[in-house]
Structure 1
Amino acid sequence: MLSTSDPDAVYFAKADSLLNLLTLEEKAGQMTNIGLTALTQGEFWTQADTLLLDSAKMSNLLITHGVGSVQNKGKYPPSKEEWYRIVKSIQDFTKANSRHQIPVLFGIDGVHGATYTAGSTIFPHQIALAATWNPEFSRITGEVTAYELRASSIPWNYAPVLDVSMQPLWGRIFETFGEDTYINRVMGAAYIEGAQGKSISDSISVAVCLKHFIGYGTPVSGKDRSPALIPEHYLRQYYLEPFRDAIDKGTLTVMLNSGAVNGVPGHIDKYLITDVLKGELGLKGFVITDWGDIARLVENHFVAKDKREATKLAVLAGADMCMVPYDASFAMDVIDLVQSGEIPMSRIDDAVRRILFVKFKLGLFEKSYHHPANFPEFASDSFANLSRMAAVEGITLLKNENNILPLKDNARTKVFVTGPTANSLTSLNGPWSRTFKGDDPTYDDKGKKTFLQAMQAKYGNGNVLYEQGTDFTGDIIDKTSILSKASNSEVVFICLGEQPTTEKFSDIHSLDLPPNQQELVKLLHTTGKPIVLVLLQGRPRVIREIEPLADAILMAYWPGHEGGEALAQLISGEESPSGKLPYTYPRYTNTLHTYQHKGSDKLDDNFGMNGFNPQWQFGYGLSYTSFGYSNFTLSTDTINTNYSIKGEVTVTNTGKYAGKEVVQLYIRDVVASITPDDRKLVGFEKISLNPGQSAKVSFTVSFNDLKFVGLNNKWIAEEGDFELLIGGNPSDMVKKSFYYKTSK
């Protein structure tokens, strides 16, 4: 039992009191999560533009079966007023007709804003937030998303995604903070701080749900929901720590990995769910399955003969709540399994106690919905400006030959804009934006500018020529017109990328950018005009053949509603680029190494191993100005277990523009009993400097930064030489050495 000094003791006491009153049937209902359209008129996947609740379905699911949780929406994004009507109706119906008046827990995928509410603020996706290397934007995204979700009467958000993804082929990498453990830890903690605020019961805070425990983001094949092979010592070193930090921050719910790690599906891995997540990491709240994944234990993983057996395996492993999401079959299986003695009541009580604890701590028993009129900042200009600022700091300048950017003389500059993503709002927002795939322009928000529209507003309609040129795939359209317009322009902007989609729909067989898009670049190169590539895509698509043809390249990721304006401001020089890659950008489809690559993969120009040869390295990104590093000093060159190193470096803006620099700090273990990483990120700070201005950046390296996970799955530090590398460009860093001595 929890100590009475534990601030959560009062909520657990309330949960225990209520738990003692529940029947087995009511407990099984609390463990069940259904999709919203299981409660509405029509088929589950309705095409209707109005969600009308069906009283018979509500009575059957919410009252007869006691379903305790509902999630997501139908096809279209309801307004905040409609969400109020829907959620209020569900909560009032449950309160009026159920025995114990337990409120429903409503959850949704608000992965980059409250994007399933019409008119809400849409932020850059997590990968673009990671590219800012500025945790404040992650915190802001969490905070604003929580505000606008509560304005929609939704208190539970299936975010952030804390999957460390070392597989750039994986279609959901855009939902993550990238390939580095430390960035995931820092950005994840900042998001949670913003979303959960001082208390998740506050009317402007929500409970977060971490996704997806664990190893989901690095499938061997790169296909979604497919197997990963990750030894436990790697699982602990690279993948576990962001979840540990998030739970230490007060996170109460976690969603499971839909795939399998080392042959064990995430939904039945008792060691990882019960021993590690709930035991070692100390999760107080509950664990939820992903959409329909109990059935997939039968249909895809082949570890259960039927759904009943799958339910048994998942619940015994530690799953507390199941996304059925179509009916109450999970609850009925739970009841049968308990009555037959195959699942002990103690396991059910543990699950329901955790669920009720979260409901009490969220304050749902006191207030289970909020009137939208009480949220005047919803979709405000100030929120939009925050989204724009995040996009500006995340967009990454990868190339800028002859300083083609920024463009000068706005009033006289004629440009040609082309490409499949140039005049598409969905190509800025990406998936999980109004719709699941995010590819339906039907729900585009009026007043938000595409890249083309933002350029026209910046340079004047008469100075911006446009031709789409080609779609995401298919033939080039009207080559004659394209060449003519390009020839009559001073600079050609080609907007490339991939059509928004996610999960299994995002599976592809090659990282190469589609041939037609590359052919468009080759065609326009024949004009001799300077070419600027704008990449709007969820993952790094290989552009090895066309990179030399471009004078400048902007990696925009999926930057959100204000991404068009952000790009135009960067191109004009109104803003200066400061984004850095949050993953390694591959040069070849079949050569996929992260920046941590082991020693045998190091580039060797003399007939040696040459596995690590990316197009651009993790942490790379250019600015319109330049930065110099000097006076790199350490407090000591020898440390022991009880000592930390303090260091300092001077950073100077040596160029002509004001700019922001990401000061990156890495550690390298020179020799170790397990082949060490080439380097490990242990700190970063983003600073702003005017031309000629200098700043001293201080840092501390602790004993824990020296550690890695050994084959016994324990964190260890070994005596020997270490190096510290600091700078803003991964291929050009200043370095200092020190020695770690185990004896005092």
Structure 2
Amino acid sequence: MKTMKMLSACLLLLPFISCTQVQDTENDAVIEQKIETLLSRMTLEEKIGQMNQISSYGNIEDMSGLIKKGEVGSILNEVDPVRVNALQRVAMEESRLGIPLLMARDVIHGFKTIFPIPLGQAASFNPQVAEDGARVAAVEASAAGIRWTFAPMIDVARDPRWGRMAEGCGEDTYLTSVMGAAMVKGFQGDSLNHPTSIAACPKHFVGYGAAEGGRDYNSTFIPERRLRNVYLPPFEAAAKAGAATFMTSFNDNDGAPSTGNTFILKDVLRGEWGFDGIVVSDWASVAEMIAHGFAADSKEAAMKAVNAGVDMEMVSYTFVKELPGLIKEGKVKKSAIDDAVRNILRIKFRLGLFDNPYVDEKWIEELYAPSHLEAAKQAAVESAILLKNEKETLPLQSSVKTVAVVGPMANAPYDQLGTWIFDGDKTKTVTPLKAIKELVGDKVQVIYEPGLTYSRDKNMVGVAKAAAAAARADVILAFVGEEAILSGEAHCLADLNLQGAQSELIAALAKTGKPVVTVVMAGRPLTIGKEVELSSAVLYSFHPGTMGGPALADLLWGKAVPSGKTPVTFPKMVGQIPVYYAHNSSGRPATRNEVLLNDIPLEAGQTSLGCTSFYMDAGFDPLYSFGYGLSYTTFKYDNVKLSSANLKKEDVLTVTFDLENTGKYEGTEVAQLYVQDKFASVTRPVRELKRFARVTLKPGEKKNVSFELPISELAFWNIDMVKTVEAGDFALWVAPDSQSGEEVFFKVVD
């Protein structure tokens, strides 16, 4: 498939420069003129109809009746191109004004060819993976008539109990900004009006990932400074990348539901960022403001949503029902309706729907193209994270003649696809079991005994049977993790241990004395400390999609080398949550001299343990820090140099360093640049990711690598709520993860 070469330099500078597709101002002027002409011909009912999105249902005649009257602007969840064309034909040829419908669908990490879940794609630290995945999804989905997707999800999420972490890019603001902008680029292509382009919809605006207790739809409390420093930047990056639409989030923040929040929708999105596309509510989130207690009834909910800046309502119908009366009463201005309709028509014109509303009904030709499957496999390879590799257990060598393949995820074609795969086909999935058999042929005997039939299975008879079979093998490959249903929307967990008897399965396998390679396929970080201890090697693959099996087989046998890094911190236990690398320092940070739980003497004095910030039972560190991941080879960082140790605010800092492959395999390292503002008007994080680069080196090869960091990117919202770079002392680290590297200092001067 086509690779978009210009992406890297542009995206790695986000969110601080604009990578927006260059708009033809003359064409925009023509579009605006067409909008005004059409708007002048529309009745109030037709305008409100454009603001109404319905979900497709069985009776096409009923939908056609609404469309003919101009009461529907968008339809979601219709994926039959024959029905899409039939409904579109009613809109174009039988309605009074011939305004096309905008067909929408959740296409989160693939339409038919399923890529790793977005959290997995983020583990690649490769924006090209994100762009290619979105491009494949757009090509396949648009072939079915879909021209709008509700993705990317770019909620910064720091609580793995939250099931929707699977849909996002993890805990880091910068990584999420870069990957999210790449997805926007992939969905929308070089031009929105190309028939294979679909409008992106960054969601959920904003703060949804900070839901209390990791419980979906729950309240958040994010002060404005934290909102602007942590949660808004990925959305600003998406807006600068040209995102056509935005979606409001379900949550209330500090008591104000996002769907009725004028500050974020008007002041920030429209006013500060200049966004001129569609703002759509999440599913029924307008009506749900009643349950929030923010609106007394559907009338007040509709009023607050429209006045806050929502253009289109998804499925709850309060706009159609209540807006005529609200306008008559003067509680909603006609100008607000006109502005909303302008935004909707603008995107329909930019998508080229007025000129090309129909789709080729021979859509099957676009699905599962060889180039799509190859891109999905490469994404799965780059997304896999090697967490442990004791005594170089991996890659498997030619001396291995028998392998035992066990575990509920070894041959789970549906579950390895992950969450949000409405249109995925499990019959097209290549599982690890199938891929391993195809890879090794008759050179290696494969003993398959799953032990557990699914991840929640507690049948110990199967565990004993698997252990007995595995004892005959040279190496045991244990595929464990989560079924797809255990992550995603409304699938939150208070316990992040392996479900069912999977932990007992690993323990039984370890007792055989044979090397155990544990491969985890899941939608979130799990608390797998004890399983890691029992394993000789551990590969973590956030649900890897259609081609996950071949990717993992290649990694296990060394045809590919792991390069993924953790996009989110792995806790040792749930009680550590929230645990993330970019935290502020307390006034009493842990020194590691403190006494832990099992070492406390009897009748110890109250202050004898060290009065610092740590858990007596969990210690000081997470299980795995952000940015962590091993390779089959090793890398050495050396000779870090700065272009200057004293810089002005308008300067660009160049950081150079030597990176050397000191092992025996060719491999790719994700080099990471972290910065800390040492002293500021408000406390700043102990480290923040500012750059990263994938560097491929042959054994013994050394490269001089450089990062360019404009000092302007050190700006933050300060004590006076002004975004600025404050002069003072800074530290930086060039490192393989967020906890490593030698500290280097520089100053910013006025």
What TM-score do you get using the length of structure 1 for normalisation?
Answer: 0.91
- The answer (yes or no) to whether the contact 2:410–2:431 under 8 Å persists in 1 is yes
Decide which of 701, 705, 713 is 1:693's aligned counterpart: 701
How far did residue 504 of structure 1 move?
Answer: 4.7
Q: What secondary structure does 1:577 align onto?
A: coil
Q: What secondary structure does 1:700 align onto?
A: strand
CA distance in 2, matches of 1:610, 1:689: 39
CA distance in 1, matches of 2:739, 2:164: 28
How far did residue 152 of structure 1 move?
Answer: 1.2
Q: Does 1:168 align with 2:148?
A: no
Decide which of 425, 429, 433 is 2:417's aligned counterpart: 429
- The answer (yes or no) to whether the contact 1:629–1:650 under 8 Å persists in 2 is yes
Q: Residue by residue, what CA displacement relative to the aligned partner does 1:480-520 show, whole Å, maximum 9, x if unpaired?
A: 32221111111122222112135554122222222522121
CA distance in 1, matches of 2:470, 2:132: 40
User: In the alignment, which residue of structure 1 is the partner of 2:464?
Assistant: 480
Tell me which moved more, 527-536 or 724-733: 724-733
User: In the alignment, which residue of structure 2 is the partner of 1:50?
Assistant: none
How far did residue 729 of structure 1 move?
Answer: 3.5
CA distance in 1, matches of 2:224, 2:204: 17
User: In the alignment, which residue of structure 2 is the partner of 1:606?
Assistant: 593
Decide which of 101, 115, 139 is 2:131's aligned counterpart: 139
User: In the alignment, which residue of structure 2 is the partner of 1:405?
Assistant: 394
Equivalences for residues 532-611 of structure 1 within 5 A:
532-592=517-577, 593-600=579-586, 602-607=589-594, 608-610=612-614
Q: Does 1:625 align with 2:630?
A: no
Q: Structure 2: 5+ residue runs without aligned partners?
A: 1-22, 595-611
- The answer (yes or no) to whether the contact 1:670–1:722 under 8 Å persists in 2 is yes
User: In the alignment, which residue of structure 2 is the partner of 1:45?
Assistant: none
Q: Does 1:463 align with 2:445?
A: yes
CA distance in 2, matches of 1:376, 1:63: 32
- The answer (yes or no) to whether the contact 1:627–1:651 under 8 Å persists in 2 is yes
Q: What secondary structure does 2:391 align onto?
A: helix
Q: What secondary structure does 2:466 align onto?
A: helix
Q: Does 1:109 align with 2:106?
A: yes
Equivalences for residues 280-679 of structure 1 within 5 A:
280-299=272-291, 301-324=292-315, 328-373=317-362, 376-409=365-398, 412-434=400-422, 443-446=425-428, 448-460=429-441, 463-470=445-452, 471-475=454-458, 476-501=460-485, 502-514=487-499, 516-592=501-577, 593-600=579-586, 602-607=589-594, 608-610=612-614, 612-679=620-687
- The answer (yes or no) to whether the contact 1:135–1:186 under 8 Å persists in 2 is yes
Q: Residue by residue, what CA displacement relative to the aligned partner does 1:411-432 show, whole Å, maximum 9, x if unpaired?
A: x521112222111012221112
CA distance in 2, matches of 1:18, 1:208: 25
Decide which of 66, 69, 88 is 2:71's aligned counterpart: 66
Taking structure 1 as reference, are residues 477 and 351 closer, same or farther at Cα in structure 2, changes over 3 Å only?
A: farther
Q: Does 1:95 align with 2:110?
A: no
Q: Structure 1: 5+ residue runs without aligned partners?
A: 42-52, 115-119
Q: What secondary structure does 1:150 align onto?
A: helix
- What is the number of equivalent residue pairs in this alignment? 701
- The answer (yes or no) to whether the contact 2:476–2:517 under 8 Å persists in 1 is yes
Q: CA RMSD in A?
A: 1.9
CA distance in 1, matches of 2:508, 2:430: 27
Taking structure 1 as reference, are residues 96 and 718 closer, same or farther at Cα in structure 2, changes over 3 Å only?
A: closer
User: In the alignment, which residue of structure 2 is the partner of 1:36?
Assistant: 56
Taking structure 1 as reference, are residues 59 and 382 closer, same or farther at Cα in structure 2, changes over 3 Å only?
A: closer
Taking structure 1 as reference, are residues 95 and 718 closer, same or farther at Cα in structure 2, changes over 3 Å only?
A: closer
How far did residue 362 of structure 1 move?
Answer: 0.8
How far did residue 672 of structure 1 move?
Answer: 2.2
CA distance in 1, matches of 2:228, 2:683: 16
Q: What secondary structure does 1:535 align onto?
A: strand
Q: Which amino acid aligns with 1:531?
A: V
Q: Does 1:158 align with 2:147?
A: no
Taking structure 1 as reference, are residues 554 and 156 closer, same or farther at Cα in structure 2, changes over 3 Å only?
A: same
Q: What secondary structure does 1:168 align onto?
A: coil
How far did residue 91 of structure 1 move?
Answer: 0.6
Tell me which moved more, 412-421 or 629-638: 412-421
- The answer (yes or no) to whether the contact 1:154–1:369 under 8 Å persists in 2 is no
- The answer (yes or no) to whether the contact 1:233–1:712 under 8 Å persists in 2 is no
CA distance in 2, matches of 1:30, 1:688: 50
How far did residue 636 of structure 1 move?
Answer: 1.0
- The answer (yes or no) to whether the contact 1:531–1:551 under 8 Å persists in 2 is yes
How far did residue 88 of structure 1 move?
Answer: 0.4
Q: Residue by residue, what CA displacement relative to the aligned partner does 1:457-477 show, whole Å, maximum 9, x if unpaired?
A: 223477222222223224234
User: In the alignment, which residue of structure 2 is the partner of 1:46?
Assistant: none
Q: Does 1:10 align with 2:30?
A: yes
Tell me which moved more, 266-275 or 611-620: 611-620
Taking structure 1 as reference, are residues 472 and 145 closer, same or farther at Cα in structure 2, changes over 3 Å only?
A: same
Decide which of 228, 232, 249 is 2:220's aligned counterpart: 228
How far did residue 8 of structure 1 move?
Answer: 2.3
Q: Residue by residue, what CA displacement relative to the aligned partner does 1:270-306 show, whole Å, maximum 9, x if unpaired?
A: 111111111111111110001111221113x121122
Taking structure 1 as reference, are residues 215 and 622 closer, same or farther at Cα in structure 2, changes over 3 Å only?
A: same
* Identity value in percent: 37
Q: What secondary structure does 1:546 align onto?
A: helix
CA distance in 2, matches of 1:107, 1:405: 44
Tell me which moved more, 508-517 or 611-620: 508-517
Q: What secondary structure does 1:172 align onto?
A: helix
How far did residue 59 of structure 1 move?
Answer: 3.6
Q: What secondary structure does 1:660 align onto?
A: strand
Q: Residue by residue, what CA displacement relative to the aligned partner does 1:74-104 show, whole Å, maximum 9, x if unpaired?
A: xxxx5xxxx2201100111122221001000
How far did residue 604 of structure 1 move?
Answer: 2.6
Q: Residue by residue, what CA displacement relative to the aligned partner does 1:689-741 show, whole Å, maximum 9, x if unpaired?
A: 10011111111121123222223332222222211100224333133211111
Decide which of 248, 257, 278 is 1:256's aligned counterpart: 248
Q: What secondary structure does 2:382 align onto?
A: helix
Tell me which moved more, 657-666 or 724-733: 724-733
- The answer (yes or no) to whether the contact 2:661–2:697 under 8 Å persists in 1 is yes
CA distance in 2, matches of 1:670, 1:194: 37
Q: Which amino acid aligns with 1:639?
A: L
CA distance in 1, matches of 2:560, 2:309: 49
User: In the alignment, which residue of structure 1 is the partner of 2:43?
Assistant: 23
Q: Which amino acid aligns with 2:723?
A: W
CA distance in 1, matches of 2:369, 2:642: 47
- The answer (yes or no) to whether the contact 2:687–2:738 under 8 Å persists in 1 is no
Tell me which moved more, 577-586 or 149-158: 149-158
Q: What secondary structure does 2:194 align onto?
A: coil
Q: What secondary structure does 2:479 align onto?
A: strand
- The answer (yes or no) to whether the contact 1:224–1:503 under 8 Å persists in 2 is no
CA distance in 1, matches of 2:666, 2:512: 34
CA distance in 2, matches of 1:637, 1:732: 21
Q: What secondary structure does 2:341 align onto?
A: helix
Q: What secondary structure does 2:87 align onto?
A: helix
